[in-house]
Each structure stands twice: as structure tokens, then as C-alpha cells.
Structure 1
Amino acid sequence: MDSPHGAAVTVKDFGLKGPRGWAFRSVTIDAAPSSLIAIEGPSGSGRTCLLLALTGRMRPAEGSAEVGGLALPRKIAAVRRISALGPVPGVSELDPALTVAEHLRERALLQRRFDASLRALLRPRAERTAEAQRRVAEALDAAGLDLAALPKQERTAVRDLERLEALRLSLALALISRPRLLAVDDTDLKLSDTDRAEAWTLLRRIAASGTTVLAVCSQAPKDTTVVRTVGCAADEPTDADTHADTDSAEQPDDNTTEEETAHALTGTRRA
């Protein structure tokens, strides 16, 4: 897989305020490219808000931040283009009614249609199809998802996937765009100790291959760059509150990336 150079993340006194108060404040990060950054804290402490702010999906209210040399919020659209969301509840969830193959096909189509250069779009159909197949195969390999091992291979519905398999699929979908920054929410949610260790091993491998990884968790492994969120006030917005704001703000425009377009389409399909 072609390994993009990971995005350095530099943050100082970073804060985000929602309709019900501060989601987080005074966050500081200094992480080199290709780092594995664990955002640790209890549910409702602003972890997801921080994840979305650092990927350009939410606008910060104070402090300074650079992701891959791009300043937030001034270059927020550019940060969206170099980042990708893995599983984030309420924002980039898998559709349980779709099969693994349907998810992969949809994401590859969106990637090819909305994120390709004009020169790439003018290439013969057979070449474009082959390139899309290569991207999918590379992403599946990077995420460690073996389609042959699934109950119905690629025709397996998402609802029939184990939690770790679903995580792998979400990561594969995000990696199709070859992002410099990959964001994962609720990394250790509902995982056994064995599966949790395997998930962190997978994220370490993705980071080592050249992609900076942001991972929200309740308890971070010792060998990660740890950022802790504790919440700011009793009336701070919950992750669900801010997801609703994010969904309404993330409408496709001229700068829409494949990732954002997929979110918009998913939201339309479920409405």
C-alpha cells in the first residue's frame, strides 16, 4: 500500500463550545507524523468533539491547532480533505442492512467520482476500475479484514459482523482515500480484552505504515500519545448533541471530499 506521510498534530489551548456550553478546553497536543494518539476520557467528556474538531468536522472556539501544517479553523476544508473518519457514532456509522461488498463498492465509487483529479477521470474505464479495485484491496489488507473468513464472504451483512470485524470494515472504508490522518471513535467499546488488544495492534500497524491515527478510548495503552478529556461543565454538550450539529453543518459543497459525501449520502438514505 502506498503509505502517505502522516500529518503532524500540534494543538495549544484548544477549545470547542457547543450550544450547551464548553465541550472541551485547554487541550494541548504535540504529536509527530505517523503517531498513534489516544484521546482518553469518560463518555460525555468531549472526546468525540475533539476528534471531529481535529479532522475539520467541527469548528473550534479558541486556541490554535495545525494538522499536517494546515491551521484550524482557517484551513478547515483542507484538513477535511487529508483526514478520514473511521467509525464515529451518529456521523459515519455502517449501515447494518448493507453487505460488506456494498459498502466497499459505494465508497470506491464515491472516492473515484469526487476525489479524483480531472486527468484520472479521463482515463479509460478499465484503468479506473482497476485502480479502484487496487485501492479496496490495499485498504482491506491494511485493516486486516479477510473477506473469505466472513460467514458469507463479501455478501455478509454488516448486522452479522462481530464488533472487531465491523471496526476493521470501517477502517478499510476510511483507508480507501489514503488519508494522512485517520480518526476512530469508541475504539475499545464492547470489545473483549483479547479483541481490544488486537484493535490497538491494528491501529499501531496503520500508524507505522505512515498514517497518523486519532483514537478515542476509555483507557489508553501505555505506548500511545495520550490526550485526556475531562469535560468542562455540568451542562456541557454530550457527544450525541454535537453529532447533530455536525450533521447539519457537513453539507456537500465544492470542497466536499469523498468521506463527507459518503456521510451525506448515508444520512439521506436513513432519513
Structure 2
Amino acid sequence: MGAEAEEQPHGAAVVADGFGLKGPRGWAFRKVSFRAEPGTLVAIEGPSGSGRTCLLLALTGRMKAKEGLAEVGGLPLPRKMAAVRRISALGQVPGVNELDPAFTVAEHLHERALLQHRFDGSVQALLRRPGTRAAEARARIAEAVAAAGLDLDALPKGGRTSVRDLERLEALRLSIALALIGRPRLLAVDDTDLKLSDAARTEVWTLLRSLTASGTTVLAVCSEAPEGALRITTEAPEAPETPEAPEAPAKVSTEKAADAPKGTGPEDTAGATGTDTGTDTGAGTTASTTEEGAADALAETGRS
């Protein structure tokens, strides 16, 4: 019974105090402070270019912060980045672990299950008979697909549907299912509401809330936080007056989305440097990613 309990999803508390990350072009984010209990939905809200994705990657141990402190599941960052990566998982993050458009849905799921078994399995698990291991992999896949709300039978060719033929919402569900195969304590999802209709956005937030209800802590980058989420608001840094001058630090708030006013002021969009894709891990901050963290993130795709 003890072994089964250890495998159950259980959220990781996330605490940040003056957390900041600086790259060659200035601060991606700075002075981020908040506390999230296990099983909390944390919405990282802000315009493209405001350091949202960098904050997501830093809190999951994929980028190394330069100032302040943070803890995930009691593990301090940046000192325990590798340990934090082991208890967290990423949904699709453009430029880090994108889905392969040539792969089918079933191929992605099977590959992730094999990687999970190879890198996270105990010695005892590795010695089990191939038939037993295959059954366990199928069970993990079925569990993750169900939790992500991905209906394989509703896809054009079922599990044989290529990623390039998926709608945006289906691709997002697939990326979440892949992350859930590892039964993480912390799930991080980038560009949560990008290019989605209002109805589809509602579906996604309902899905993420269901995951927090089961115990998993969720970090989600979005343009507008949903009601009831713990809201972390980042703002794009102002452009420096001279090439040598550092960029102004990003402003951060940690109010609940239900109580916070919607919309942002003129200063929110001044100096935004992100692209139209909504991803803000530009060259100025990707240089801060450690080699170990980058290798780990690429390993999640199995094609590093």
C-alpha cells in the first residue's frame, strides 16, 4: 500500500521570495514573491515579452534564477534544480519540448511511456518481465489520456492521427497527457489560452482545475487569468535609454484573479519584446538556461 501511495499524484507547494532571472539583455523578471499551497492553480499572466515563460521554466528547474529564493516541494532553487525537474513536468513549450508534427498521437504517448520507464523506473521495475512492463506502460498512458480529457476515438484517425492534423485544443490536451505520464507533483503549461476560442479556453481551465482537484499543482502561462486562480502578473520591461543601460525590472503582483481588475495599463505593453506566438523565452534569457536543464528539457521529447 505504501508503494501505491507514493505513485499517486500529490501537489508540490511553490514559494518564491524576491525571485528574479537576468540575461544578457537585462531582467526577464524580478522580485517575484508568492506562496502556493499543494494543489493550487497558479496563473502567470502578462503580455508577450514580459518573462512569463522564463518564470515558468525557472520554477520547474529548467532555467537558473539570479536573485532571490524559491522552493518547490521543499526543494530550494536554484540549488536543487535537478531534483525539482524530477517532480515537475512541462506541457508543450515552444522551442523547448515541442510536439513532432510527423509523429502520430500514439507514437508520442508510447515514446513518453518508454522514456518514463527508462529514466524513472527503479531497479526492481527494470527487472520485471517485458509483458508486465508493457501492461504498466499501457495503464499509465490510459490514465494520463483520461486525465487530460483527450478522446482518441474522436480524432480523425484515432491514435494514428498525426500531430500536424490536430486542432490547437487537441494538441494542448496531448501535451498535457504526455506530461501526466510521469505523474508529476507540479505541472507547467505554457501559452494556455493562445489561439483558443472562449469556449475552448473554458474547457482548458476546467481541465486544469480538475488536475488541481486531484492534488497536482499547476502553473499556467496565460494572457488573462481565470477567476479563482492565484494570479501572478508580469509586465514587459521598459526599453533602456541607451544600449548599455539595463532594462527595468518586471512588475509582479500576486492577487487572486477573482479580486484583481481585468486589463492592463499602458505601461503593461511598453517595450514588449515577445513574438506573435506568445512565447517569451527570447535570446536575452535563453542564455541563462543551464546545460543540464536544457538537456533535461530536450530529453522529455526523446529526441535530444
Q: If the length of structure 2 is used for normalisation, what is the TM-score?
A: 0.82
Please list the CA deviations of residues 20-65 of structure 1 after superposition, one character each: whole Å capped at 9, or x if unmatched: 1100001011110010000000000000000000000000000111
CA RMSD of aligned residues (A): 1.8
- 2:10 and 2:185 in contact (8 A); partners too: yes
Please list the CA deviations of residues 148-205 of structure 1 after superposition, one character each: whole Å capped at 9, or x if unmatched: 1100000000011111000000000000000000000000000000001100000000
Structure 2 matches for 1:21-32, cutoff 5 A?
21-32=26-37
Percent of pairs with identical residues: 67
Q: Residue type matched to 2:177 in 1?
A: A
1:18 paired to 2:23? yes
* Other-structure match for 2:146: 141
Q: Which structure 1 residue ranges, 5 or more long, are not aligned?
A: none
Change (3 A) 1:251 1:217: closer
Asked if 1:208 is matched to 2:251, the reply is: no
Summarize the Cα distance change of 1:193–1:262 in structure 2 as closer, same or farther, 3 Å threshold: same
Note if contact 2:149-2:173 (Cα within 8 Å) is conserved in structure 1: yes
Distance in 2, matches of 1:245 and 1:11, equals 19
Letter in 1 for 2:62: R
Partners of 2:14 and 2:134 in 1: how far apart?
34
The structural deviation recorded for 1:114 is: 1.1
Residues 1:90 and 2:132 aligned together: no
Residue type at the aligned position of 1:54: L
**CA–CA distance in 1 between the matches of 2:163 and 2:93?**
15
What's the secondary structure of 1:48's corresponding residue?
Answer: helix
Q: Tell me how far apart the structure 2 counterparts of residues 91 and 215 of structure 1 sit (CA, whole Å).
A: 16
> Aligned partners of 1:161 and 1:229: how far apart in 2?
31
The corresponding residue for 2:282 is 240
Q: What are the superposed Cα offsets for residues 200-237 of structure 1, whole Å, 9 maximum, x if unpaired?
A: 00000011111100000000012100001113342667
User: Residues 63 and 290 of structure 2 are in contact (CA less than 8 Å); yes or no, is this contact kept in structure 1?
Assistant: no
Give the number of the structure whose alpha-carbon radius of gyration is greater: 2
The one-letter code sitting in structure 1 at the alignment partner of 2:42 is I
Which of residues 33, 43, 52 is equivalent to 1:47? 52
Query: Any idea what SS the aligned residue of 2:172 has?
Result: helix
Following TM superposition, the consecutive aligned residue runs of length 4 or more in structure 1 with deviations greater than 6 angstroms are: none
Return closer, same or farther for 1:251/1:230 CA change in 2, 3 Å cut-off: closer
Please point out which of 213, 222, 228 is paired with 1:223: 228
* Distance in structure 1 (CA, Å) of the matches to 2:76 and 2:300: 25
2:37 partner letter: A
Write the deviation string for residues 63-107 of structure 1: whole angstroms up to 9, x where unpaired: 111100000011111000000000111111111111001101110
Given that 2:17 and 2:33 are in contact with CA atoms closer than 8 Å, whether structure 1 keeps it comes out as yes
Secondary structure, counterpart of 1:45 in structure 2? coil
Three-state SS of the structure 1 residue aligned to 2:29 is: strand
Pick the structure with more helix per residue: 1
**Structure 2: 5+ residue runs without aligned partners?**
241-246, 248-272, 274-279
**Structure 1 residues 140 and 48 mapped into 2: Cα distance closer, same or farther (>3 Å)?**
same
